[in-house]
Amino acid sequence: MASLPHSRDAALALDQIDPLAGKRRLFCLPEGCCYLVGHSLGPPPLSASERLREAQADWQRDLVRSWNSAGWIDLAERAGAQIAPLIGVDTEEVIVTDSVSVNLFKLAAAALPLAARRVILVEEDEFPTDQYIAEEMARQTGAEFQRLAAGGGFGALSRGGVLIRSAVNYRSAEVARIDDFEAEAARHGAIIVWDLSHATGVLDVELKASGARLAAGCTYKYLNGGPGAPAFIYAARELAGRLASPLPGWMGHAAPFAFTPDYAPRAGAARFASGTPPILSLATLSGALETFANVSASALATKARALGNLVISRADSMGLDVMSPRDPSRRGGHVSLRIKEGYPVVQALAACGVMADFRAPDTVRFGLSPLFLSHADVRGAMDALEHILQSGSWDKPEFHARAKVT
């Protein structure tokens, strides 16, 4: 890590040549706030607020006619087309709909009849929602459920079932080798449903080139779509036509306004649309995605990895336990440190203007969103962490009081 900035001046020099530096002005962030929680909830881009105001004006002016006059009826597909380049797939293979939890259920249930065996697989260190969905879906469908040891997903593909797997582990930030997983799945008739929640918008995810066929992901993290923003589904063109959604709502119908009693699915990923799309949220998301215009996924990944290297270097100098991979090619857009007093440390950081997050029992995560963070931001945050740990200023009663959301 010889090229890391070892002074504030060196960090500022890197920021001067950063090709993404100009993107910072597109975001609305509080003055004096170093926001390292973009992997949990991204900050609002100015364009997101603008598109929301436009949608509200359309609603006020044209009322129900806005479905046609403002193009609301096609907004889910248009937002999906904006996401497609960030995950390396064709525009018509992505649609924005529902939540990650619902979408994982829909995709896994649709894939199950096509797998070599009726078994649902998930690793024990997967994000809890993914585990809950997998286990309950198996119960409802009568499929076998197997909770695997951490890291056991690849070996279990020989069982020929459906594996729900995150592309980036939410705690450690370890990146899965999607191409290797998909090649192994193809050998055994297994199907993988990828969770891209901690990958999209920060890594160079090339799903089509890697052979991935099914994925879901959220849009409120690195994509900055707003709290509770709708999620997306990717279904490869060659597979989508063979899939039947377990929630065949009217927006997934080939002719929704024909109001026929029998269901006929739309072509491709659009068949996974269910109910009426949340237009105000979709408009906000579509506006947020404008910040990614003319930005390559490789540029995002390169900067995120550089910022991660900086965090790890400083953590090493403090003698902290780094939970994330040191190889930047194996690490996502966040770095996790194990700190026994993690919760009050995060609260002390917040009091200094540095926002990070805590995951029980002792994980402190730093999200490194490449569009709005600078090298100087991250270096300053690590300076603050070092001061808090050395001074013991984290050990105040107000920093130990637990909030409902941690």
- Eight-state DSSP code of residue 372: T
- Eight-state DSSP code of residue 294: T
Contacts of 284 by beta carbon, 8 Å cutoff, 6+ apart = 48, 49, 51, 52, 55, 225, 226, 229
d(CA 257, CA 327): 52
Which of 27, 220, 222, 343 is the catalytic position? 220
Q: Is 220 a catalytic residue?
A: yes
Which of 51, 106, 165, 221 is the catalytic position? 221
Quickly tell me which residue has 């899965």 as its tokens: 176
**Is 49 exposed, middle or buried (CB count within 10 Å of its CB: 0-12, 13-18, 19+)?**
middle
User: Under a CB-based contact definition with an 8 Å cutoff, are residues 120 and 164 in contact?
Assistant: yes
d(CA 143, CA 153): 17
**Length of the chain, in residues:** 406
Which of 27, 35, 105, 127 is the catalytic position? 127
Which of 195, 266, 305, 372 is the catalytic position? 195
CA of 216: how far to CAs of 175, 219, 398, in Å?
A: 16, 10, 39
User: Under a CB-based contact definition with an 8 Å cutoff, are residues 111 and 193 in contact?
Assistant: yes
Q: Is 187 a catalytic residue?
A: no
Please list the helix, strand and coil fractions of the chain in percent, rounded to the nearest 5, in that order.
50, 15, 40
Query: Is the four-CA dihedral 399, 385, 322, 330 of positive or negative sign?
Result: positive
Phi, psi of 367 (to 5 degrees): -85, 135
CA of 383: how far to CAs of 162, 209, 227, in Å?
A: 45, 40, 30
Provide the 3-class DSSP secondary structure of residue 29: coil
Q: Is 221 a catalytic residue?
A: yes
Phi, psi of 14 (to 5 degrees): -65, -40
Count of CB atoms situated within 10 Å of the CB of 80? 25
Q: Catalogue the active-site residues.
A: 127, 195, 220-221, 365
